[in-house]
Structure 1
């Protein structure tokens, strides 16, 4: 198409399109890595600025496209998937800001903006994303309205406030339909897709632990799960949230034993009454579940193996809510089979000789199991320190930690203590999970964050069975439990004044998770219970959905018919009032009569007002039928003159008319 045949994009309409794209990009920018978001935002600003003055040449656009594509792919490890696609969409949106010369470009930009808003929900469905998406859609509709005003010669330029109000009205009109679709559209018990593409990208506990692996996790303030007790909660120093139990040690890393999950749960003798509670687990894309030490049974759709570590039957790719009961053990598997004893004392050959020699020396000095544990804890307490800046460890990682560096965090302490116990012939294993938590007083629940990740050791003692030993707590108990006194280390560093804000924000997020993201097929079946339907079937839900959609569409149609009335235009409404006053003066306009013909007839009947009638009618006809362009001020002036017109006298009777 030749350039002369393309309708250009009005400068003011272009500004609206750029503003709509900027608002739509904000949710995605907040979900990108900081450096990548800053780069794309800078490219977008430069692109919008240069596009308004002089478009970039084709070779420069191609170079920027290839460069940004390579940058995005490198940022996500050259993995193609949802996150990479969203970042590429944002990069193309930034470059598109420089290509907005024609009306078609403006429409494409608004389409990109709407798709970017949708893409943000693929990554996050939180209340902040929704709060940012609503103005993004509103701005896109307002930009489309602004382009439509210049699409027709002589089109009306609507004031900014009216344009925004119209866009808000359209968004509000869609809310009933959206609500009906969300609450009533029949849901599947599981998503249409399987494991999300970023299954390896989520932070959290895994079934492998080696020195230094948890460093990023210990600095992550993201929520891991929330717990609500049905009764008095235990003291925070007793809140050990059990996760994967690690049996196998290869000299450096601990891993989970697959065979443990296939064996029945070990027997537990409770030391007192159980604690009932509910956990709402954030998506992890893994099968691990967490429970307060020690759970009595697995939650629904989950299993619990020999070591009482609960596992879901499917990966937790969305919010998972489950109820459990836990007890404090008096004895935990007091009888240990020989095969399990061997598995819990096995060490690889050729690793950590100094640790093995120390344990053998303690044994040769006559120390029994309890004395070996006491000596190890006393040594840790006296000569070791807690630090997240521990130096990296080499092949003999336990030897280097125990005899050289002597500083680290929970994964160092639990691993070294377990190896030391095994070297002394004491069955030991590492338990991973979380410790402590923050009590939110607003919702009366406990928030456990990724930074609360913890690892401890379980040793098997004659007559007692598996017994929890936390060497990290022996070194620095405040680092284990008191770090949860604020919501995350980052907020604690900013001061206590921000804690109430963060507390309220997390309570709001919890409510959103429970009532929106947690609304699944099971809860939907109970939706019609207030209407006497205990458990709605798919057919009943479909009928309710059709009813809700029908009512929403009927409301939309009614508003559209109302809006199509000519009186919705202020100038047409003023002309209608002008005609009404002439009719009351004795001159009524026939439906088929053109405005100027009627004006001449009215002027003849009302000679005192003839000049004003002809002038107003001519100006109105020129705007309405001749394509005359009136700016906002001229339109307002004409409408005001039409509304203020009042005939001085009644019309003369026509010749030959009855008196």
Structure 2
């Protein structure tokens, strides 16, 4: 029977399954909960069942089809990198059903190593890396155990601790080359290929707003971006992070105007206050960006539409950083062309007749636009409440909100207020983005979470242009019935009982993003300048990397060769003893047998009985069929020439 066909023993099987589970864990943490629990449960059942008797082929097929069906249902039968990763996890969970021989064990471990790499397609955080490294170590330990079983050299001495030390030494050997590649390999400004899209979109801002869509977004307390101010900071009430501007309305959905995207940005007169800041934007799988109202200029790679909807030419599938300056607007498009005015007044026919009647009555009572805006806000203060518990609207959504429910969240307030203004003859539009932020206690930066997503209104007033109006903020405090903080509890709310823990974790994640994920071509050049290397071209950088990589490879080869020469612990201990005597001028010649050398040392030093005794034991253990001498290695390590002098 070939070595690979040997039946795996119980200890080897346990280590293989443990390593495979460690590989699967970080991937499961990134999948939807239902899929993750189903895959983990079926994997555990398969592993336990296969330990007793082989799993029939038909049953493996049923399990595979069940998991594939579950994954496809979870992703809506769409294809993306999250679907592929979930299918990989499902197949890995069933793979232990074939674990019978050493070859099966190696096959399972090789397949399992794809799982940590697939995890990085979904998350590149430090936790995923740490779990991936742990999984890789356990895989190598399991492979060592399988090799020992195949060679018949399974040893209980040291056991897994010895194997772990061996693996860690191998990692340490390769670490210089890995660091050289990370720090010095030339960085490309843009990748050669893109990352496939997710089949299930991440919560985030979009260029549409429909009833009920925002609940998933504002119920997510994960960070959307981290902001560091350079100098003065605005009050949190002035932190309006502008995103897509929605001008078109079909009676149910607000959407961004396609043709306005191609017009140059409108004219903005800025005030004297300037805020200088950096934004680290989390991946969204979209190309939409945000900035504090209103940006003074746009950095490279950021574009703006006529309404200041900010976009990037590339899909944001990784952490991106933007340096911006913003200033509150004094006048924003003070001269509104008739075409744009008509668009900002357009309302769909056949919808919300009660809202239209109310707006026309108000307009008949006053010609002052600002007074009409204040009248609408006063109505909200006196009669409306804030709640997340709202039913999906019918055909006349705004009528239902204004005259029946009179309670909702920003999605309802901004939509109804904009339509009411338009019906009254005031140009208006919906603006989406984020509001506020939460200062991290361990770092000088602000966290803006997805739950900070907000929608407000811009109305056009003569002499001032577009003016921000936030009808949601007009709700009286005593009428706020149901908030996100209430639903998430203290643990999910800023300032809750567990906020120091979350602050510390986010601070660590931010450092990881800056030092590792954000190490781009610019950061690479900055590092080299700090080392005194100015203006490094790509060719020079490639040569520098080649030099450092060659040195690292030479170091690796020397250590591996040295380890191969002295793999036997007994032989290493013997060579170390010889080097101790060599420092006294009593080195053993290459042709000199051990006993002859020990005799010569004894003659030279007058008495070397301990050395002679150790040498006889070494010769017997190394060259004769003597019984095992487990204490010999320890005694060789402990012996020092000075002991002979004292005697």
* Fold match by TM threshold 0.5: yes
Counterpart position of 2:73: 74
Counterpart position of 2:413: 413
2:170 aligned with 1:185: no
- Note if contact 1:199-1:285 (Cα within 8 Å) is conserved in structure 2: no
Counterpart position of 2:222: 222
Task: Report the alpha carbon displacement of residue 573 of structure 1 after superposing the two structures with TM.
Answer: 5.1
- Note if contact 2:80-2:199 (Cα within 8 Å) is conserved in structure 1: no
Distance 2:56 2:487 in 1: 51
The within-5 A match list for 1:487-506 is 491-492=491-492, 496-506=496-506
The within-5 A match list for 1:540-619 is 540-566=540-566, 568-572=567-571
Distance 1:117 1:577 in 2: 41
Counterpart position of 1:122: 121
Distance 1:570 1:321 in 2: 52
- SS of the residue 1:430 aligns to: strand
Give the stretch that moved more between structures: 351-360 or 262-271.
262-271
The within-5 A match list for 1:224-373 is 224-366=224-366, 368-373=368-373
- Note if contact 1:6-1:103 (Cα within 8 Å) is conserved in structure 2: yes
Distance 1:490 1:254, change over 3 A: farther
- Note if contact 1:430-1:457 (Cα within 8 Å) is conserved in structure 2: yes
Distance 1:5 1:377, change over 3 A: closer
- SS of the residue 1:375 aligns to: helix
Distance 1:5 1:308 in 2: 64
- Note if contact 1:30-1:37 (Cα within 8 Å) is conserved in structure 2: yes
* Aligned alpha-carbon RMSD (Å): 3.7
Distance 2:623 2:557 in 1: 31
Distance 2:28 2:184 in 1: 32
Distance 2:578 2:185 in 1: 50
- SS of the residue 2:363 aligns to: helix
Distance 1:623 1:458, change over 3 A: farther
Distance 1:477 1:520, change over 3 A: farther
Distance 1:20 1:479 in 2: 55
Task: Report the alpha carbon displacement of residue 366 of structure 1 after superposing the two structures with TM.
Answer: 3.2
Task: Report the alpha carbon displacement of residue 14 of structure 1 after superposing the two structures with TM.
Answer: 1.5
2:409 aligned with 1:429: no
Counterpart position of 2:630: 636
Residues 400-431 of structure 1: CA distance to partner in whole angstroms, max 9, x if unpaired?
Answer: 11112222110100000000000000100000
The within-5 A match list for 1:197-212 is 197-198=197-198, 201-212=201-212
Task: Report the alpha carbon displacement of residue 644 of structure 1 after superposing the two structures with TM.
Answer: 10
Give the unaligned 5+ runs of structure 2. Answer: 581-587, 596-611, 640-647
- SS of the residue 1:232 aligns to: coil
Distance 2:536 2:577 in 1: 58
2:146 aligned with 1:147: yes
Distance 1:591 1:490, change over 3 A: farther
Distance 1:229 1:147 in 2: 55
Distance 1:580 1:429, change over 3 A: closer
Residues 569-606 of structure 1: CA distance to partner in whole angstroms, max 9, x if unpaired?
Answer: 2344577899999xxxxxx99979999xxxxxxxxxxx
Distance 1:73 1:199 in 2: 10
Distance 2:479 2:434 in 1: 13
Task: Report the alpha carbon displacement of residue 111 of structure 1 after superposing the two structures with TM.
Answer: 0.7
Distance 1:4 1:308 in 2: 68
Residues 357-392 of structure 1: CA distance to partner in whole angstroms, max 9, x if unpaired?
Answer: 111111223353222212211111222111111111
Residues 229-281 of structure 1: CA distance to partner in whole angstroms, max 9, x if unpaired?
Answer: 11121110111110111111111110001222222222222332221111111
- Note if contact 1:438-1:485 (Cα within 8 Å) is conserved in structure 2: no
Distance 1:178 1:278, change over 3 A: same
2:408 aligned with 1:381: no
Aligned length: 626
- SS of the residue 1:454 aligns to: strand
Task: Report the alpha carbon displacement of residue 157 of structure 1 after superposing the two structures with TM.
Answer: 4.8
Counterpart position of 2:6: 7
Distance 2:212 2:156 in 1: 63
- Note if contact 1:347-1:423 (Cα within 8 Å) is conserved in structure 2: yes
- SS of the residue 2:498 aligns to: helix
Distance 1:322 1:573, change over 3 A: closer
Distance 1:293 1:164, change over 3 A: same
The within-5 A match list for 1:18-97 is 18-97=17-96
Task: Report the alpha carbon displacement of residue 352 of structure 1 after superposing the two structures with TM.
Answer: 0.7
Task: Report the alpha carbon displacement of residue 319 of structure 1 after superposing the two structures with TM.
Answer: 1.9
Task: Report the alpha carbon displacement of residue 98 of structure 1 after superposing the two structures with TM.
Answer: 2.8
Distance 2:565 2:141 in 1: 21
Counterpart position of 2:608: none
- Note if contact 1:451-1:488 (Cα within 8 Å) is conserved in structure 2: no
- Note if contact 1:459-1:466 (Cα within 8 Å) is conserved in structure 2: yes
- Note if contact 2:574-2:636 (Cα within 8 Å) is conserved in structure 1: yes
Greater C-alpha radius of gyration? 1
TM score, norm. by length of structure 2: 0.88
- Note if contact 1:437-1:484 (Cα within 8 Å) is conserved in structure 2: no
Counterpart position of 1:168: 168
Distance 2:533 2:634 in 1: 58
- SS of the residue 1:123 aligns to: coil
Task: Report the alpha carbon displacement of residue 31 of structure 1 after superposing the two structures with TM.
Answer: 0.5
Distance 1:116 1:131 in 2: 14
- Note if contact 1:195-1:285 (Cα within 8 Å) is conserved in structure 2: no
Distance 1:492 1:5 in 2: 52
- Note if contact 2:78-2:199 (Cα within 8 Å) is conserved in structure 1: no
Distance 2:466 2:590 in 1: 99
Distance 1:294 1:643 in 2: 72
Distance 2:200 2:589 in 1: 75
Distance 2:278 2:34 in 1: 38
Counterpart position of 2:584: none
Task: Report the alpha carbon displacement of residue 136 of structure 1 after superposing the two structures with TM.
Answer: 1.0
2:111 aligned with 1:112: yes
Counterpart position of 2:536: 536
Distance 2:169 2:337 in 1: 71
- SS of the residue 2:120 aligns to: helix
Distance 1:506 1:75 in 2: 29
- SS of the residue 1:220 aligns to: coil
Task: Report the alpha carbon displacement of residue 524 of structure 1 after superposing the two structures with TM.
Answer: 2.6
- Note if contact 1:210-1:253 (Cα within 8 Å) is conserved in structure 2: yes
Give the stretch that moved more between structures: 135-144 or 469-478.
469-478
Distance 1:334 1:484, change over 3 A: farther
Counterpart position of 2:399: 399
- SS of the residue 2:247 aligns to: strand
Give the stretch that moved more between structures: 518-527 or 223-232.
518-527
